[in-house]
Structure 1
């Protein structure tokens, strides 16, 4: 049996399919929006530094915005782990921030007399290092061979879950 449909009937059917597809697309977009709203997140950059005053060891960690992303809690745990892994005996939180930008850490001194400093900048790594050295000198540090530095940048907003 051969069916013959008029062009008007076929056109009406195609229009109904397009309307249905648009409706499904709108429903899909609304579902995505709802999921995003339910999973509300606060965006912040984060980094942390742990130090051991006894050994002069330290650990730095930050979320650079690339996968896998780290929460502030994970960032602190990683910095503490690095301090301990690198010889720290009693690592304590020295610095943490949720602000994005350039950061530099500066450490120097001799057994039991270590000086630790942080420099921050929204402009450049060079400026953050200058600020760290200034802070180090203001705290009585002496720039000499053996001083250690670390610089990092948190260029993208990092994600931390916000409890509802």
Structure 2
């Protein structure tokens, strides 16, 4: 596997890495409009220069419980439009080199050593599907569906 240019996302005591080409921008905690009918993973919606963006609870999306606070939001351009991943600390750019292991956590593709910590590399294409947002406990199926 080649080196990965990533944005490190602190989520509580854990560290996750988002491939930098998925990140559009980092914003301070936005003013949110809650949605009573939204899945629990959707913290709320915010306005980003005229575009409505859902803020997703990154811990809940990974089936790790719910975040208590959001310090920053990383806006990503996903397969179904804009979304934002909540973080509990300021995201940092980092070049990830050789993976140090595999991750059993759904929606991640490997583990990388970052100083004294280990970061799990996120697979945004798998995490940001409508099915995953509706039900984070749903099994992630990497096999594309469709004819042929």
Normalising by structure 2, report the TM-score: 0.24
Name whichever structure is richer in helix by fraction: 1
The structure that has the greater radius of gyration is 1
